Amino acid sequence: MKAYKATMDVLNRILLVLSLVTLAAMVVVIIYQVFARQILGSSPAWTEEISRLLFVWVSFFGIAYGFREKLHIAVGLLVNKFPEKVQFVFDFVTKLLIIAFGVILLYYGIHFSILTSKSTMPATGLPSSVLYACIPITGLYVVLNGIELLFKKGLHQQLDDASEG
């Protein structure tokens, strides 16, 4: 399990760096787009398409990373009323559903990327599959991080009352 966790640490560090680079690139493209439109009078058509592509990628990377860091919203109001053993069952079933969600993203993301590989995005001429390739990548990360979650207690970060005020 230590080797798996170490491998996941490296993979998630790569994901985090890619997310930050993608976000920075998106900001640069949008700044250029606004500059070109406001100062030069017209912006290149590719800027909107590339910024949309980068936004989709960074959003999907955030989904994958959020599962690892337990950052997704969880409503535990009802579950917390149950005994601890029942809470454990809910927690375990939810983690299995997360893994299943990742498998669905992986499977259908691959098929959708293949399906869209013949069409191109109008402004850049890139295959449309470039836009959708983030879906199976996210699915793989969700599956791998979901497996890691199976060996951790809880499904969301515990917040204490002091941090709310």
pLDDT in tens, 5-36: 999 999 999 999 999 999 999 999 999 999 99
| Residue 52 pLDDT > 60 | yes
Helix axes 84-115, 134-149, angle to 10 degrees: 160
Mean pLDDT of the chain: 89
pTM of the full structure: 0.85
CA gap 29, 23 in Å, rounded: 10
Q: pLDDT category, 156, cuts 50, 70, 90?
A: low
pLDDT at 138 over 90: yes
Residue 19, number of CB atoms within 10 A of its CB: 18
Rounded CA separation 61/64 (Å): 5
Instruction: Output the pLDDT for position 127.
Output: 93
| Among 144, 156, 164, 136, residue whose Cα is nearest residue 5 | 144
Alpha helices in the chain (DSSP H): 2-35, 45-68, 84-115, 129-132, 134-149
- Considering only CA atoms, which of 56, 63, 66 is closest in space to residue 133? 56
pLDDT class for 119, splitting at 50, 70, 90? very high
User: Which residues on neighbouring strands pair with residue 127, listed in sequence order?
Assistant: 120
The contacts found for 154-163 with CB under 8 angstroms, 24 or more apart, are: 154/70, 154/91, 155/70, 155/74, 155/91, 155/94, 155/95, 156/70, 156/72, 156/73, 156/74, 156/76, 157/69, 157/70, 157/71
Distance, in Å, from the CA atom of 137 to the CA atom of 66, rounded to the nearest integer, reads 14
